[in-house]
């Protein structure tokens, strides 16, 4: 067992989906996996291992923000040998062309966080996805007829910010959406030489708040990203 995960060695697959919401992890396990087994409920951060189309996979919540996902991703990689990590979460659109319920594949993640800068003060270390996973996810989503955007996202430290105007302005510079975890996940993947990708569903639109979804919808209805995530997870 690690500090924050109660699983025994071998109980977590080397491929894992990482939703922020632990109840979304429960939803994925119960609706997509065969014979899911609970391996963690420390701090309510539910984690399950089961099979998807004959492949052993896991799913586990990570909480909100880069400090939280950094703890879980670090332990999953270093203590449990996870090699492929795909975040499936929500994001806010910063572009008038990216709408609620559409998918964003995070090719790269800019960030307001100092987490990475603390390690590399001399450089603006680039946070990028695994191209292999990005390419697979894009083609899987397109084959399934899902409206999908590929580009950069902003991983922010703050959900409530006084700088929404600046964040929206980033949309004119190609930033597709704002979220809170991808940059830290990509950094840890680079540090430990594993694969990572962020697949986000747009849950709200900073340029058009009338499109926003409810908490219940965010928890249980964003199944497109779950399907793409699982199909990408098991891809060769």
Closest residue by Cα to residue 93 from 151, 135, 161:
151
Is 218 a known ligand-binding residue? Answer: no
Is 11 a known ligand-binding residue? Answer: no
Is 130 a known ligand-binding residue? Answer: no
Is 89 a known ligand-binding residue? Answer: yes
Is 180 a known ligand-binding residue? Answer: yes
Is 203 a known ligand-binding residue? Answer: yes
For residues 154 and 167, the answer to whether their CB atoms sit within 8 Å is yes
CA distances from 100 to 49, 152, 174, 208 (A): 30, 17, 17, 10
Is 204 a known ligand-binding residue? Answer: yes
Is 4 a known ligand-binding residue? Answer: yes
Active-site position among 21, 204, 212, 224: 204
For residues 159 and 194, the answer to whether their CB atoms sit within 8 Å is no
Query: Catalytic annotation on 224?
Result: no
Q: State how far Cα 95 lies from the chain centre.
A: 20
Report the distance separating Cα 75 and Cα 28, nearest Å. 21
Q: Which residues are part of a known binding site for a purine D-ribonucleoside?
A: 4, 179-181, 203-204
Which residues are part of the catalytic machinery?
204
Q: Which residues are part of a known binding site for phosphate?
A: 20, 24, 43, 87-90
Q: Which residues are part of a known binding site?
A: 4, 20, 24, 43, 87-90, 179-181, 203-204
């Amino acid at each position: 067992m690690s500090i924050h995960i109660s699983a025994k060695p071998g109980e977590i697959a080397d491929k894992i989906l990482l939703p922020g919401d632990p109840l979304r992890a429960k939803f994925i396990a119960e609706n997509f996996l065969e014979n899911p087994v609970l391996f963690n409920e420390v701090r309510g951060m539910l984690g399950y291992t089961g099979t998807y189309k004959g492949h052993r996979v896991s799913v586990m919540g990570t909480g909100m923000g880069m400090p939280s996902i950094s703890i879980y991703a670090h332990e999953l990689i270093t203590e449990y040998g996870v090699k492929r990590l795909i975040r499936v979460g929500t994001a806010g659109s910063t572009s008038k062309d990216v709408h609620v319920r559409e998918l964003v594949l995070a090719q790269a993640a800019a960030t307001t966080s100092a987490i990475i800068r603390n390690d590399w003060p001399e450089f603006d270390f680039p946070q990028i996805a695994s191209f292999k996973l990005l390419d697979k996810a894009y083609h899987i989503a397109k084959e399934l007829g899902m409206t999908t955007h590929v580009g950069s996202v902003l991983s922010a430290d703050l959900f409530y910010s006084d700088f929404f105007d600046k964040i929206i302005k980033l949309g004119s510079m190609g930033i597709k959406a704002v979220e809170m975890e991808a940059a830290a996940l990509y950094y840890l993947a680079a540090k430990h030489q594993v694969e990572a990708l962020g697949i986000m569903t747009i849950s709200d639109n900073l340029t058009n708040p009338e499109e926003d979804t409810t908490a219940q919808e965010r928890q249980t209805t964003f199944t497109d990203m779950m399907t793409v995530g699982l199909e990408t997870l098991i891809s060769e």
